[in-house]
């Protein structure tokens, strides 16, 4: 099996690459532009493998896309490259429209040309997996879950750009017959998570005794999924998912943001005790504009049709994550040097 993973130097993409190379023994080409969020040390465990190759390019560059696909001749493309941070999309939406919309379009077109040239049975077996987010569905009230049929209602420039890319991917299946499968996932967490996101930011700020910023009153609810469970789900969806179908991926782990932060603090009180409890560092900051109240996924379709189940519950997964950050300063130390760490979404550009 030969797989192109776009965005393989990012948080989820690197987990997917590690999974495919180490667990599945697939040949993988990681196609990544290395924006501020792309960090090759996340691939330390596979970089020496003969199964792994890196291709440094932008998915908006049509000839780079064409060359990579024509030379590597994949059986599957898993598309994760994106601008992914909501706060950044509020202050600079252009990159989100460029990469998430134009980049996805460019990749779909490059894939279509290649797929049209494939003989059977490779043509029928080929899959393009478009990886997206539950944020395209907008916000839930106190009850209910996002299902695959929930109407799109995005709130932020990030989720609007992802929604656009989902529609393009689905249209390429309906119009051209390209075997596209779409996945929409809830919030991921786990090792190798970039320090601007809530969970790693909280861990690393706590360790350096900096304020732990929490938006509003911390009551927004997210449905947390351990990143390795997501990587397994994506492999399964790419392998068994039917073209034209959407699969929601979620861990059934709803938590209020403030409870996530308090849980991290109490794990750190246990593993790396200081003179005062870490929770004393919690600092409530002005809420994000357009902040969705609650996301929660109904993953029944993925569980019942494809047999996937999350292995990690939040309590064990968050402890594993904190332990990983405590043990792996080699990974996050250099990133922290480029980052002021005081606020959410304020990472400095990588030099
Ligand atoms: P990330 O920001 O950690 O990584 C994105 C990767 O894409 C980086 O390696 C970056 O260099 C690369 N990239 C960005 N623009 C590119 C371009 N123009 N050309 C080539 N490469 C480019 O993102 P992530 O958190 O790993 O998310 C991966 C995918 O999963 C995204 O599509 C995101 O929308 C989706 N998703 C993320 C979450 C989450 O909780 N992180 C949840 C659901 C869905």
For the chain, give every domain's residue range: 2-193+224-254+293-313
How high is the mean pLDDT of the chain? 93
Q: Which among 158, 215, 278, 339 is annotated as catalytic?
A: 158
Q: What is the pLDDT of residues 26-73, one digit of tens each?
A: 999 999 999 999 999 999 999 999 999 999 999 999 999 999 999 999
Strand order in the sheet with 76-79: 52-56, 27-32, 2-6, 76-79, 127-133, 180-185, 246-249
Q: Is the pLDDT of residue 15 over 90?
A: yes
**For residue 349, pLDDT beyond 60:** no
In this structure, of 58-62, 165-169, 298-302, 339-343, the range with the lowest mean pLDDT score is: 339-343
Mean pLDDT of 235-261: 96
Distance 99 CA to ligand 1 centre (A): 10
**Which residue in 27, 83, 134, 173 is the catalytic one?**
134
Can you give the pLDDT at residue 340?
Answer: 54
Inform me whether the pLDDT recorded for 93 exceeds 60: yes
Find the 10 Cα to ligand 1 centroid distance in Å.
Answer: 6
Q: Is the pLDDT of residue 234 over 60?
A: yes
260 lines ligand 1 (CB under 6 A): no
Question: Quick one: pLDDT at residue 347?
Answer: 39
- What is the per-residue pLDDT for 289? 81
CA dihedral 150→152→153→159, nearest 10 degrees, is 120
CA-nearest residue for atom 42, ligand 1, is 187
Ligand 1 centroid to residue 273 C-alpha, Å: 34
Instruction: Answer whether 185 contacts ligand 1 (Cβ < 6 A).
Output: yes
Report CA dihedral (308, 103, 334, 194) to the nearest 10 degrees.
Answer: -40
Class of domain 2-193+224-254+293-313: alpha beta
Helices 104-117, 62-72: inter-axial angle, 10-degree rounding: 40
Q: What is the pLDDT of residue 351?
A: 29
Residue 118 Cα, ligand 1 centroid: separation in angstroms? Answer: 28
135 is catalytic: yes
Residue 216 · residue 210 · CB < 8 Å: no
Select from 303, 309, 298, 195 the least CA-distant residue to 254.
Answer: 298
What b/e sequence results for 8-31 when a residue is b if at least 16 CB atoms lie within 10 Å of its CB, and e otherwise?
bbbbbbbbbbbbbbeeeebbbbbb
Mean pLDDT is lowest, of 82-91, 94-103, 122-131, 287-296, for 287-296
Q: What is the pLDDT of residue 290?
A: 80
Say which residue, 52 or 86, is predicted with more confidence.
52
Instruction: Say what the pLDDT of residue 112 is.
Output: 98
Does residue 23 carry a catalytic annotation? Answer: no
Q: Taking residues 5-26, report their average pLDDT.
A: 98
119 pLDDT exceeds 90? yes
CB of 12 closer than 6 A to ligand 1? yes
- Cα 150 to middle of ligand 1, angstroms: 23
Q: Per-residue pLDDT averaged across 148-173, rounded? A: 97
**Residue 177 CB coordination number (10 Å):** 14
Helix (H, G, I), strand (E, B) or coil at 263: helix
Q: What is the pLDDT of residue 339?
A: 62
- Residue 142's pLDDT is what? 87
CB of residue 33 inside a 6 A radius of ligand 1: yes
The mean pLDDT of 241-264, rounded to a whole number, is: 96
- Distance between CA 98 and CA 102 in Å, rounded? 5
Q: Is 134 among the residues known to form the active site? A: yes
Categorize the per-residue pLDDT at 10 as very low, low, confident or very high, splitting at 50, 70 and 90.
very high
């Amino acid at each position: 099996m030969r797989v192109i993973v776009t965005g393989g130097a990012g948080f989820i993409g690197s987990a997917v690459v590690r999974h495919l190379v180490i667990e599945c023994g697939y040949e993988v080409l990681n196609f990544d532009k290395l924006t501020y969020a792309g960090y090759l040390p996340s691939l330390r465990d596979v970089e020496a493998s003969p199964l792994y190759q890196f291709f440094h390019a932008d998915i908006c560059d049509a000839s780079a896309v064409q060359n990579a696909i024509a030379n590597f001749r994949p059986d599957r493309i898993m598309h994760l490259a994106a601008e992914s941070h909501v706060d950044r999309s509020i202050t600079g939406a252009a990159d989100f429209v460029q990469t998430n919309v134009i980049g996805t379009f460019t990749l779909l077109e490059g894939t279509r040309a290649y797929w049209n040239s494939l003989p059977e049975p490779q043509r029928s077996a080929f899959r393009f997996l478009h990886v997206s987010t539950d944020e395209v569905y907008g916000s839930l009230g106190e009850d209910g879950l996002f299902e695959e049929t929930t109407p799109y209602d995005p709130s932020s420039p990030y989720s609007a750009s992802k929604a656009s890319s989902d529609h393009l991917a689905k249209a390429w299946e309906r119009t051209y017959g390209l075997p596209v499968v779409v996945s929409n996932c809830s919030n991921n967490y786990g090792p190798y998570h970039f320090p601007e996101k809530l969970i790693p930011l909280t861990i690393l700020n706590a360790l350096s005794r900096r304020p732990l910023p929490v938006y509003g009153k911390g009551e927004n609810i997210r449905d947390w999924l351990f990143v390795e469970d997501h990587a397994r789900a994506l492999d399964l969806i790419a392998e068994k998912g039917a073209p034209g179908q959407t699969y929601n991926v979620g861990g059934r782990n709803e938590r209020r943001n403030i409870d996530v932060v308090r849980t991290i603090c109490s794990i750190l009180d246990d593993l790396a005790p200081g003179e005062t409890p870490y929770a004393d560092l919690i600092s409530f900051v002005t809420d994000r504009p357009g902040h969705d109240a609650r996301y929660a996924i109904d993953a029944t379709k993925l569980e019942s049709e494809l047999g996937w189940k999350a292995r990690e519950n939040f309590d064990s997964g968050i402890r594993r994550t904190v332990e990983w950050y405590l043990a792996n300063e080699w990974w996050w130390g250099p990133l922290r040097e480029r980052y002021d760490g005081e606020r959410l979404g304020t990472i400095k550009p990588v030099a």
